[in-house]
Amino acid sequence: MGSNMAEAHPVGFQWVMEAKRKGATVIHVDPRFTRTSAVADLHVPIRAGTDIAFLGGLIHHVLENEAWFTEYVRAYTNAPMLLREDFADTEDLDGLFSGFDPGSGTYDTTSWQYEGGTAPPASGQRDLEQDDAEGSAEEAHEHERGQVAGSGGSPVETWPERDDTMRDPRCVLQVLRRHYARYTPAMVHEICGIPEETFRRVADALVRNSGPDRTSAFCYAVGWTHHTVGVQYIRAASVLQSLLGNIGRPGGGILALRGHASIQGSTDIPTLFDLLPGYIPMPHAHRDEDLASFIESNSGRKGFWGDMDAYTVSLLRAWFGDNATADNDWCFDHLPRLTGDHSSFRTVMDQVDGKVPGYFVIGENPAVGTANARQQRAGLANLEWLVVRDLNMIETATFWKDGPEIETGEMRTEDIGTEVFFLPAAAHTEKDGTFTNTQRLLQWHHKAVEPPGDCRSDLWFYYELGRRIKQRLAGSTDPRDRPLQDLTWDYPVDAHGEPSADAVLREINGSGADGELLPGYTALRNDGSTRCGCWIYCGVYADGVNGSARRRPGGEQDLVAAEWGWAWPMNRRVLYNRASADPSGKPWSERKALIHWDADAGRWTGGDVPDFPVDTAPDYEPPEDARAAEAIGGAEPFVMQADGRAWLHAPAGLADAPIPTHYEPAESPVRNALYGQQANPARQRFDRPDNRLHPEPGTPGAEVFPFVFTTFRVTEHHTAGGMSRWTPYLTELQPEMFLEVSPALAAERGLEHGGWAHVVTARSAIEGRVLVTDRATPLRHGDRVVHQIGVPWHWGPNGLSTGDAANDLLGVALDPNVHIMETKAATCDIRPGRRPRGPALVAFLADRRRAAGLED
Amino acid sequence: MGLRDVLAGWPLVRQLTGTDGLGRGAAARSGRTDAARPRTADADTVTASVCPFCAVGCGQKVWSRDGKVTHVEGDPDSPISRGRLCPKGSSTLSLVTSPSRVTTVRHRRPYGTEWEDLDLDTAVDMIVDRVLDTRRRTWQDTDDQGRYLRRTMGIASLGGATLDNEENYLMKKLYTAMGAIQIENQARI
């Protein structure tokens, strides 16, 4: 679901086809019939933006038919935990949970917690709730949640009450039952447009294929994440898979199909505002916070986050070397502090408002590649200086010369003050380094040739930038320059001045007091004796061997292929694999065995690296004063969670809901059939003239944008096209922008196959060739038909293969946990013929906004 | 060569008169075909690499000769891809050898109407100037409540997700020490 894997991850999809060949049932739930649907056993067309209603329907089915994996659910999930009496569900409050503040549009999540268990701010909200009086925590709280939740659990300090019979009306299982009581097949039909019998086929197939002997997996991509409720999409799958016992077991799981060579690596070693390497949160501004209180408020007592002090001190030692000492709090105050949302969209709006003078854009093309691309270009045009590093002359580098706003007359080149540096980049064949793929596997690519001309690696650029900055500031006595002066920056360079990526990977791996490379994160210490640039990558260079460069042929290995590359953490391939065995340590079934307890040897063993303290026996009960790994009970597989369990209800850590709930997209043609609350009440909104969203359904002006569009990719192009639109073969395969419409919509709007049409929103109008196809399915919603238009987003005006950018159509509305935008469901109009050009486009859009009652 | 020889050499005649009736073997060969050699045969190095497009991480083998990449193919040893590449992965040779690649620094002055040339070393120095100047002008020691900030809100960064881990690491390390916090990536957007 939320993925067209055959098209976007074609070579990975060969394994789905292998599974199908061995008897697996492949079901594709997606608004569009695609190359994935074509080879699936069943394609289920769904209205864009309604997947939680569908998944909620499946959860309802599992709960009502008592089809859950009883022993797994009782022992490994928080189903038996009791919730507080003051918790109120969406069934009680017509689509809101308890704790909502309509003024700020945010939740106080206190009432979502366990009865008798104190859950301080969860992983996603770490480092926020210390200053309560000044409103600072609230400000941070408003924006900063979620990302960290992906990697870790939350601190639960005392043991909550639970009912192992799972009958208590306040236990999580019963709360779930009530929450999903109305997510019936009939409701799924009404909301998603999926016939009841089709829904039942999916539900039966999923239940039949889950349990001790069988497992099912969900694959998703940005079709799930690009929503104002994106995190809750993934949570809904987590609830379902946990109920069915499909987590931590071979063939199970929820697989995030990430879109770029190292997008997983860019999250692990984050170029993201709210994270430090290894999902340690960036500190927020607090009064009198030292490292100890930062750790205290952010790490649980139990589980592997309990050693966060060792990970953080080792990171600070890697960055500031011998300058970081116990006496100066390991240079914790060298880290800048956050005060809220500093994510990309907020920053771009600040650029538009003239608040951000400098901008580096590194291998990225926001001028066509980011939602509300007109706003992105307005931001670029209002900088003092811009550095673009890329292979080709992308739109982000040329907006001032030939961007769409130059053509419409909204901008004049002579008026744009942005100084632009275009620095040509080296290709992957021209540098050493690692990519982390979608399964957390680090793979080393070796340099084949030197880069041409002025082309350099980004490693060279940042090394050189840092070296020169340090040189300039060497004599400074200004305290603000101390972090740069103290920064370790001694990387060996080759004859061409290229720094050694190998040396950087060694720093990331970490070393001990004598410089020896560390074997793994359990070797990290909080006393300054170890250094480590990213704790979850610790062990990639164990024993002085670059594990990411291992290439023992797959044909010589078993299916796990543990000697090809290196997967974090500790070369584990299935996370939480302790759950592949029952509480007593035996595999749930021989067919689905992975890890088991070997009582004779006194250790966990099996076909993967155990994701568990290796000598903790299944019957181990931690003493009360135990902490970190020692506090993990022998039958608690979810070792990053502070209660060791998979969370069906999330007592903390989320900004918008403890239990996934169906809300309509920020722009939808229909009302929410379940609640009075239409869209995610906690979504991030930016109501500005350059970011107008369409009126709610049923209000005046909504009829101006009656159709749904969803953006998508094709195999032959890559994201915003920077690496594909300049290539002749790919251009020949996919030469130009097109729009997918159904025959019914084509008839309604007079669109001709192969002719031109333009899609219109309050933000812009873009044109493309019309592709009339039965693959685009209109869906019935109540008494009306909802038409869905497919809009590929690869194009822009530069390169060999050109076309309008789909991102010009989108407004910015964000998931409040992770600040990710909604691109997969929005409303629009479509008209035959080419769009207006030049100043006529500006007038046309103003007219459309006026018609919809939107202010300019 | 007489007319008869020319005729006899014509592929259609060879297909009709020879043993290759379907014209998919000997009848279709020409002198040029016979002289052709695979690009891989003349390579002086073969390098193990990874596809730079999506996150599946298919194995690639990169052939090069005299410092130029001459061929890119799927690596059959990879347990992930078993030698396969999709259309994008198969286009890697044209990506890295594309004549559209810019290989010199380009500079556009404020309010300028054209690109100008700039020496790489000078360009990096100019960027250092701007970073230090912007950082100085936009520095925040504390907020209005006296809370410690030690940062600049004047320098933002957006990095692509096809960067190496080592590159992201140096970026985060340098920016953080610099006090720049608006550091973002495709991983969010």
Q: Over 70: is that where the pLDDT of A137 sits?
A: no
- Cβ(A51)–Cβ(A45) under 8 Å? no
The whole-number average pLDDT for the span A717-725 is 94
Contacts of A723 in chain B (CB under 8 A): 52-53, 88, 95, 162
d(CA A192, CA A184): 12
- Tokens at residue B99, please? 């004549």
Per-residue pLDDT of B133-176, as tens digits, reads 999 999 999 999 889 999 999 999 999 788 999 999 999 999 99
Range with lowest mean pLDDT among A146-150, A638-642, A771-775 = A146-150
- Report the pLDDT value the prediction gives residue B160, as an integer from 0 to 100: 78
**Chosen domain end from A256, A291, A312:** A256
Q: How far is CA A174 from the centre of its chain?
A: 30
Which tokens go with A403?
A: 């961007």
- pLDDT score at A149: 35
pLDDT band at A123 (very low <50, low <70, confident <90, very high): low
Domain positions in chain B are 3-35, 39-96, 103-135, 138-189
Q: What is the ipTM of this complex?
A: 0.95
- Asked if B102 and A393 come within 8 Å (Cβ–Cβ), the reply is yes
Residue A444, helix vs strand vs coil: strand
Alpha-carbon span A176 to B176, nearest angstrom: 42
Q: What is the average per-residue pLDDT within A115-128?
A: 59
Q: Which residues of B touch A534 (CB under 8 A)?
A: 169
What residues in A contact B185, CB-CB < 8 Å?
263, 266-267, 270-272, 364
pLDDT class of B31 with cuts at 50, 70, 90 = confident
Mean pLDDT of A552-577: 96
Interchain pair B185, A272: CB under 8 A: yes
Query: When comparing pLDDT for B99 and B11, which is higher?
Result: B99
Task: Answer whether A466's CB lies under 8 Å from B127's CB.
Answer: no
pLDDT of amino acid A286: 87
For B:64-123, CB contacts with A below 8 A are 64, 67-69, 72, 75-82, 84-92, 94-96, 98, 100-111, 113-115, 118, 120, 123
pLDDT of the residue at A639: 92
* Digit-coded pLDDT (tens) for A671-689: 999 999 999 999 999 999 9
Give which of A4, A7, A9, A11 to mutate to test B binding, by max B Cβ within 10 Å.
A11
Query: Which residues on A lie below 8 Å from B67 (Cβ)?
Result: 449-450
B59 CA: distance to closest CA in chain A (Å): 9
* Residue A725 within a domain: yes
Contact yes or no for B148 and A463 at CB 8 A: no
User: Measured between beta carbons, which residues in chain A are less than 8 angstroms from residue B92?
Assistant: 429
Q: Could you tell me the pLDDT band of residue B2, with boundaries at 50, 70 and 90?
A: confident
Domain interval for residue A236:
5-50+61-68+185-256
Which tokens sit at A318?
């890697």
CA distance A226 to A552: 37
A470 domain-assigned? no
Q: For tokens 């197939």, what's the residue?
A: A205
| B55 at interface of A, judged by CB pairs closer than 8 A | yes
- What does the pLDDT look like over A200-223, one tens digit per residue? 999 999 999 999 999 999 999 999
The pLDDT-based confidence of A152 (bands split at 50, 70, 90) is very low
The confidence score (pLDDT) of residue A150 equals 35
* pLDDT for the residue numbered A557: 95
- Run of H or E including A708: strand A707-712
Q: Of A326-330, A422-426, B22-26, B165-169, where does mean pLDDT reach its minimum? A: B22-26
Say what the pLDDT of residue A125 is: 52
A78 pLDDT tier (thresholds 50, 70, 90): very high
Instruction: Provide the pLDDT confidence category of residue A127 given band limits of 50, 70 and 90.
Output: low
B48, B85, B131 member nearest A446 (Cβ): B48
Residue A467 within any structural domain of the chain: no
pLDDT for A131: 45
Q: Which amino acid is at A467?
A: R
Angle at A487 between CA A481 and CA A491, to 5 degrees: 140
**For residue A339, pLDDT beyond 80:** yes
CA–CA distance, A509 with A444 (Å, rounded to integer): 14
pTM over 0.90: yes
Q: Inspect the interface and report whether the beta carbons of A266 and B163 lie closer than 8 Å.
A: yes
Query: Tens of pLDDT along A524-536?
Result: 999 999 999 999 9
pLDDT digits (tens, 9 = 90+) for A255-294: 999 999 999 999 999 999 999 999 999 999 987 789 999 9
B76 burial via Cβ count (<10 Å: 0-12, 13-18, 19+): middle
Mean of pLDDT over chain A: 94
In a domain, A821, yes or no: yes
List of chain B residues whose C-beta atoms are within 8 Å of the C-beta of residue A400? 108
Q: What is the pLDDT, as a whole number, of residue B67?
A: 95
Distance from CA of A309 to the nearest CA of B (A): 19
For tokens 């992965």, the residue is B89
For A404-459, the pLDDT digits (tens) are 999 999 999 999 999 999 999 999 999 999 999 999 999 999 999 999 999 999 99
The shortest C-alpha distance from A836 to chain B (Å) reads 26
Domain end position, chosen among A230, A256, A282 = A256
Query: For residue A734, what is the domain's CATH number?
Result: 2.40.40.20
The mean per-residue pLDDT over the stretch A604-618 comes to 96
Q: Tell me the range of A146-150, B36-40, B120-124 where mean pLDDT is highest.
A: B120-124
Does the beta-carbon distance from B95 to A727 stay under 8 Å? yes
Q: Are the C-beta atoms of residues A499 and A523 closer than 8 Å to each other?
A: no
Structure tokens belonging to residue A512: 């001990």
Contact B102 A469 (CB under 8 A): no
Start-to-end CA span in chain B (Å): 67
pLDDT of residue A158: 58
Determine, for residues A136 and B147 on separate chains, whether the beta-carbon distance falls below 8 Å. Answer: yes
A356 to chain B: closest CA residue: B154
A591 vs B17, more confident: A591
Kindly tell me if the per-residue pLDDT of A322 is higher than 60.
yes
Would the CB atoms of A363 and B184 count as touching at under 8 Å? no
Residue B165: which of A14, A434, A457 has the nearest Cβ? A434
| Minimal C-alpha gap between B42 and chain A (Å) | 15
User: By the 8 A CB rule, do A218 and A94 touch?
Assistant: no
Distance (Å, whole) CA B182 – CA B159: 11
Nearest Cα of chain B lies from the Cα of A728 at a distance, in angstroms, of 8
Residue A249 belongs to domain with CATH number: 3.40.228.10
- State residue A38's pLDDT score: 97
| CA–CA–CA angle A141, A821, A812 (5° rounding) | 95
Q: Calculate ∠ Cα A267-A269-A272, nearest 5°.
A: 55
CB contact under 8 A, A362 and B163: yes
Please provide the DSSP assignment of A479-529 as one string. GGGHHHHH------B-TTS-B-HHHHHHHHH-B-TTSPBPSSGGG--SSSS
Cross-chain CB nearest to A272 (options B100, B156, B188): B188
The number of domains in chain A is 2
By Cβ distance, the residue of A387, A424, A463 closest to B103 is: A424
Residue A388: its H or E element: strand A385-390
Q: Is the pLDDT of residue A234 over 70?
A: yes
Query: pLDDT tens digit string along A356-396?
Result: 999 999 999 999 999 999 999 999 999 999 999 999 999 99
A308-330 exposure pattern, b = at least 16 Cβ within 10 A, e = fewer: bbbbbbbbbbbbbeebbeeebbb
Domain B39-96 classification at class level: mainly beta
Assign A98 a pLDDT band (cuts: 50, 70, 90).
very high
Give the whole-number percent of chain A exceeding pLDDT 70: 95
Query: Looking at beta carbons, which residues of chain A come within 8 Å of B68?
Result: 449
Confidence class for position B7, pLDDT limits 50, 70, 90: confident
Q: Which residues of B touch A412 (CB under 8 A)?
A: none
Residue of A nearest to B83 (CA): A11
User: Of the candidates A214, A238, A256, which is a domain's last residue?
Assistant: A256
Note whether residue A504 is domain-resident: no
Which ranges in chain B belong to alpha helices (H)?
3-9, 11-17, 31-35, 87-90, 92-96, 120-137, 165-178
Q: Sort out which chain A residues have CB atoms less than 8 A from B98's CB and list them.
A: 391-392, 726-727
